[in-house]
């Protein structure tokens, strides 16, 4: 079915809400779920209820857990929907948000900032955002000058070239400053503890890119029958691809800026969604957004609690939890091929 | 309805089509024939505006270079030789894509679009398969589904590139009869490539023989399908006789050329 059904969407939203409440609960301090729900209601404008939480506990929820859960949800949703967008544009199931050099670009600029200006916290997300956008633009420029005939294949190859080139520079810079290796590595493995500042920083980009992609579901369905047929149906296929590519890259850059590099979400969530709910992008895009958000919130909860008080890097958890999850999805749903 | 003047296409450094002209009257069926690699498919793609070309293509009095893509898509529908069928898309959703030229860029299908699609599926005996994924169709069903998508476009011109490839005799006939019936019922103008010469002669009103990028001959089937022309352009030794209805039938002669 090509359209999202209300029940399907409602179910996914309930799962997301439950995972976010679970995310707020997880941690060392002992706070009951009911109190968390009451406190969340109290935070809403015009609502005034007494959750019975002490100011310290309220502060802990407000300053640490809530922004963290929201960042996890935003990053998971953005990476998943960006992955779905890239897969639609390239008509390639292996496309992921980092395909066009976003990860390598961000990796390089963040490494440069850590090495050159240690101790300036907000400059890292800004650098990551700029690096991710820069990497994609470089790949796009390269892909376009390398020849029109190849189309998307040329673009993917340009992405591969840009990724290796930028990674080479990044590795070189990193080797020059071995004492910063741990900070660089920690960023690469992903971190969702950025707080409200970082969330607010990327929110506008996240909203714009998300809305643009959600609006293009039907167009991506038309593209799925091939470039020439899409054109014969009156669609300016290359323009649609460019718009979705820009939006997906913006979403990726926003996610990378606040979270570092988190693998697996962008490729696994859209496929899992496709398996369960069907292949139309009108379903895959919104469902990827919701399921990706819920997935990363749960993965982060796992990362924070399984070895508490120590934290696992979130990138490790997404792969550790994600791989078996994906195998399970593959095994239980055989009806849909990719 | 379709007028092609001095059409030339260069792909890379190779001139694939050279100064081809063709005219198809409203309601007529023109079949493009010719040996492999002669430029038949390129001719169709050029008429669709899918490849850059010299010369002019006029559809219903409108030059293709000057009309907007959506307007053009309401005028002419196209089914390529090997269409890409997303395996998990349903028959209905695929046929519904034919309504794209009528749906605003970021809009969604109207009830009317769904009704048109439904009635096209009904006409093509596909209503029962509406909910089935494309991966679970036979060759004949796939061909009909592609036709359904093209018909849902409700364009007066239908361009079909080898609509019968990979179909057995019965299904070939089924598809061609269907196209013929729809053409007569709706007054469609049909332009197809067909590799089987006898089949082309049987169904088309006129033939265009394309060989090495040139329009080598055109006219009624009996004018184009002569032993001399087929031998020269296909390198085949054939015998051509008039069939029961007077249309030429091409037989291969063993031992040639």
- Residue in B with minimal Cα distance to A215: B106
| Partners of residue A225 in chain B, C-beta under 8 Å | 83-86, 94, 97
Q: Determine the pLDDT at residue B198.
A: 93
With bands split at pLDDT 50, 70 and 90, how would you rate the model's confidence at B31?
very high
Residue pLDDT, tens place only, B72-96: 999 999 999 888 898 888 999 999 9
φ, ψ at B90 (rounded to 5°): -80, 160
With bands split at pLDDT 50, 70 and 90, how would you rate the model's confidence at B257?
low
B128 domain residue, yes or no? yes
A 122-181 near B (Cβ less than 8 A) = none
- Residue in B with minimal Cα distance to A237: B69
A 262-281 near B (Cβ less than 8 A) = 274, 278-280
The mean pLDDT value of chain B amounts to 91
What average pLDDT score do residues B35-53 get?
91
Q: Which of B69, B80, B135 shows the shortest C-beta gap to A236? A: B69
Q: Do A225 and B83 touch (CB under 8 A)?
A: yes
B54 and B167 within one domain:
yes
Percent of chain B with pLDDT over 70: 99
Q: Determine the pLDDT at residue A122.
A: 61
B167 and B151 within one domain:
no
B221 and B203 within one domain:
yes
Domain interval for residue B179:
1-60+156-226
| Partners of residue B93 in chain A, C-beta under 8 Å | 1-2, 221, 280
Q: Do A280 and B85 touch (CB under 8 A)?
A: no
B76 domain residue, yes or no? no
With bands split at pLDDT 50, 70 and 90, how would you rate the model's confidence at B246?
confident
B22 and B4 within one domain:
yes
Instruction: Examine the pLDDT at B57 and tell me if it is beyond 80.
Output: yes
B238 domain residue, yes or no? no
**Prediction pTM value:** 0.87
Tell me how many domains chain B contains.
2
Between the alpha carbon of residue A134 and those of residues A248, B66, B191, the distances in Å are: 14, 37, 48
Q: Determine the pLDDT at residue A336.
A: 47
> Tell me, what CATH number does B160's domain have?
3.40.50.300
Residue pLDDT, tens place only, B151-204: 999 999 999 999 988 788 888 898 899 899 989 999 999 999 999 999 999 999
B204 domain residue, yes or no? yes
Q: Which of A218, A236, A337 shows the shortest C-beta gap to B135? A: A337
Label each residue of chain B as H, E or C: CEEEEEEEEEECCEEEEEEEEEEECCCCEEEEECCCCCCHHHHHHHHCCCCCCEEEEEECCEEHHHCCHHHHHHHEEEECCCCCCCCCCEHHHHHHHHHHHHCCCCCCCCHHHHHHHHHHHHHCCCHHHCCCEHHHCCHHHHHHHHHHHHHHCCCCEEEEECCCCCCCHHHHHHHHHHHHHHHHHHCCEEEEECCCHHHHHHHCCEEEEEECCEEEEEECHHHHCCHHHHHHHHCCCEEEEECCCCCEEEEECCCCC
Q: Determine the pLDDT at residue A101.
A: 87
B176 and B205 within one domain:
yes
B132 and B93 within one domain:
yes
User: Measuring CA to CA, which residue among A271, A285, A95, A274 is closest to residue B133?
Assistant: A274
B239 domain residue, yes or no? no
Chain A nearest-CA distance from B130, in A, is: 11
B164 and B53 within one domain:
yes
Q: Do B105 and A221 touch (CB under 8 A)?
A: no
- Residue in B with minimal Cα distance to A149: B12
B61: left (phi over 0), alpha (psi -120 to 50) or beta: left
CA of residue A274 relative to chain centroid, distance: 17
Residue pLDDT, tens place only, B7-26: 999 988 889 999 999 999 99
Q: Determine the pLDDT at residue A36.
A: 80
Q: Determine the pLDDT at residue A126.
A: 86
B119 and B176 within one domain:
no
User: Is residue A336 within 8 angstroms of chain B, CB to CB?
Assistant: yes
Q: Determine the pLDDT at residue B256.
A: 64
Q: What is the signed CA dihedral for A36, A50, A195, A16, rounded to 10 degrees?
A: 40
What average pLDDT score do residues B43-48 get?
93
Q: Do A234 and B97 touch (CB under 8 A)?
A: no
B93 and B49 within one domain:
no
B167 and B48 within one domain:
yes
List chain A domain ranges.
6-332
B41 and B164 within one domain:
yes
What average pLDDT score do residues B113-126 get?
92
pLDDT in tens, chain A (338 residues): 467 788 888 999 999 999 998 888 876 667 777 888 888 888 888 778 877 777 888 888 888 888 999 999 999 999 999 999 999 988 877 788 888 888 899 889 988 888 887 766 668 888 888 999 999 889 888 887 766 555 677 888 888 999 999 999 999 998 888 888 888 888 888 888 888 888 888 899 899 999 999 999 999 999 999 888 999 999 999 899 989 999 999 999 889 888 888 888 998 899 889 888 888 899 999 999 999 999 999 999 988 888 777 788 888 888 887 788 778 777 776 544 44
Residue in A225, A238, A273 to test binding to B, most B beta-carbons within 10 Å:
A225
| Partners of residue A279 in chain B, C-beta under 8 Å | 86-89
Label each residue of chain A as H, E or C: CCCCCHHHHHHHHHHHHHHHHHHHHCCCCCCCHHHHHHHHHHHCCCCCCCCCCCHHHHHHHHHHHHHHHHHHHHHHHHHHHHHHHHHHHHCCCCCCCCCCCHHHHHHHHHHHHHHHCCCCCCHHHHHHHHHHHHHHHHHHHHHHHCCCCCCHHHHHHHHHHHHHHHHHHHHHHHHHCHHHHHHHHHHHCCCCCCHHHHHHHHHHHHHHHHHHHHHCHHHHHHHCCCHHHHHHCCCCHHHHHHHHHHHHHHHHHHHHHHHCCCCCHHHHHHHHHHHHHCCCHHHHHHHHHHHHHHHHHHHHHHHHHCCCCCCCCHHHHHHHHHHHHHHHHHHHCCCCCC
- Look at residues B111, B131, B155 and tell me which one is the last residue of a structural domain: B155
User: Is residue A68 within 8 angstroms of chain B, CB to CB?
Assistant: no
B247 domain residue, yes or no? no
Q: Determine the pLDDT at residue A334.
A: 56
Q: Do B101 and A234 touch (CB under 8 A)?
A: yes
Q: What top-level class would CATH report for the domain A6-332? A: mainly alpha
Q: How far apart are CA A316 and CA A272, in angstroms?
A: 19
- Look at residues B129, B155, B181 and tell me which one is the last residue of a structural domain: B155
Q: Determine the pLDDT at residue A76.
A: 94
Residue pLDDT, tens place only, A115-164: 887 766 668 888 888 999 999 889 888 887 766 555 677 888 888 999 99
B192 and B151 within one domain:
no
Instruction: Examine the pLDDT at B208 and tell me if it is beyond 90.
Output: yes
């Amino acid at each position: 079915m090509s359209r999202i059904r209300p029940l399907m969407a409602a179910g996914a939203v309930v799962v997301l809400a439950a995972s976010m409440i679970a995310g707020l609960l997880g941690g060392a301090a002992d706070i009951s779920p009911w109190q968390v729900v009451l406190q969340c209601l109290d935070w809403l404008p015009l609502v005034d209820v007494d959750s019975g939480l002490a100011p310290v506990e309220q502060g802990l929820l407000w300053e640490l857990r809530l922004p963290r859960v929201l960042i996890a949800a935003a990053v998971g949703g953005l990476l998943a929907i960006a992955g779905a967008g890239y897969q639609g544009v390239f008509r390639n199931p292996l496309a992921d948000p980092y395909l066009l050099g976003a990860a390598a670009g961000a990796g390089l600029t963040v490494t440069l900032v850590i090495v050159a200006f240690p101790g300036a916290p907000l400059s890292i997300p800004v650098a990551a955002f700029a690096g991710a956008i820069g990497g994609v633009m470089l790949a796009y420029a390269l892909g376009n000058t390398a020849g029109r005939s190849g189309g998307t294949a040329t673009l993917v190859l340009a992405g591969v070239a840009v990724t290796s080139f930028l990674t080479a520079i990044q590795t070189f810079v990193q080797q020059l400053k071995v004492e910063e290796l741990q900070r660089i590595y920690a960023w690469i493995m992903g971190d969702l503890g950025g707080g409200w500042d970082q969330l607010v920083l990327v929110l506008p980009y996240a909203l714009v890119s998300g809305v643009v992609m959600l609006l293009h579901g039907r167009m991506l369905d038309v593209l799925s029958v091939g470039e020439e047929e899409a054109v014969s149906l009156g669609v300016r296929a290359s323009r649609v691809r460019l718009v979705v590519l820009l939006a997906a890259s913006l979403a990726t850059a926003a996610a990378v800026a606040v979270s570092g590099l988190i693998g697996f979400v962008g490729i696994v969530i859209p496929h899992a969604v496709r398996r369960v709910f069907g292949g139309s992008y009108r379903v895959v895009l919104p469902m990827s957004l919701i399921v990706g958000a819920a997935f990363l919130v749960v993965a982060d909860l796992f990362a924070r609690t399984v070895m508490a008080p120590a934290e696992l890097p979130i990138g490790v958890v997404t792969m550790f939890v994600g791989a078996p999850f994906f195998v399970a999805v593959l095994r239980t749903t055989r009806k849909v091929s990719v | 309805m379709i007028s092609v003047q001095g059409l030339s296409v260069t792909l890379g450094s190779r001139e694939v089509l050279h100064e081809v002209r063709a005219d198809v009257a409203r309601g007529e069926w023109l079949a493009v024939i010719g040996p492999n690699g002669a430029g038949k498919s390129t001719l169709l793609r050029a008429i669709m505006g899918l490849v850059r070309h010299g010369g002019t293509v006029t559809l219903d009095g409108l030059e293709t270079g000057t009309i907007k893509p959506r307007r053009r898509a309401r005028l002419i529908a196209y089914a390529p030789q090997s269409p890409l069928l997303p395996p998990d898309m349903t028959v209905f959703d695929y046929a519904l894509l034919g309504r794209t030229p009528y749906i605003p860029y970021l809009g969604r299908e109207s009830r009317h679009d769904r009704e048109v699609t439904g009635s096209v599926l009904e006409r093509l005996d596909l209503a029962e398969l509406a909910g089935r994924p494309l991966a679970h169709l036979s060759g004949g069903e796939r061909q009909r589904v592609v036709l359904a998508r093209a018909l849902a476009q409700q364009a007066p011109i239908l361009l079909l590139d080898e609509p019968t490839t990979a179909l057995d005799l019965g299904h070939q006939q089924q598809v061609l009869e269907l196209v013929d019936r729809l053409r007569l019922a709706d007054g469609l103008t049909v332009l197809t490539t067909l590799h089987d010469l006898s089949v082309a002669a049987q169904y088309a009103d006129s033939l265009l023989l394309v060989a090495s990028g040139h329009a080598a001959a055109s006219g009624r089937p009996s004018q184009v399908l002569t032993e001399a022309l087929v031998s020269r352009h296909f390198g085949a030794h054939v015998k051509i006789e008039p069939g029961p209805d007077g249309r030429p039938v091409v037989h291969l002669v063993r031992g040639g050329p």
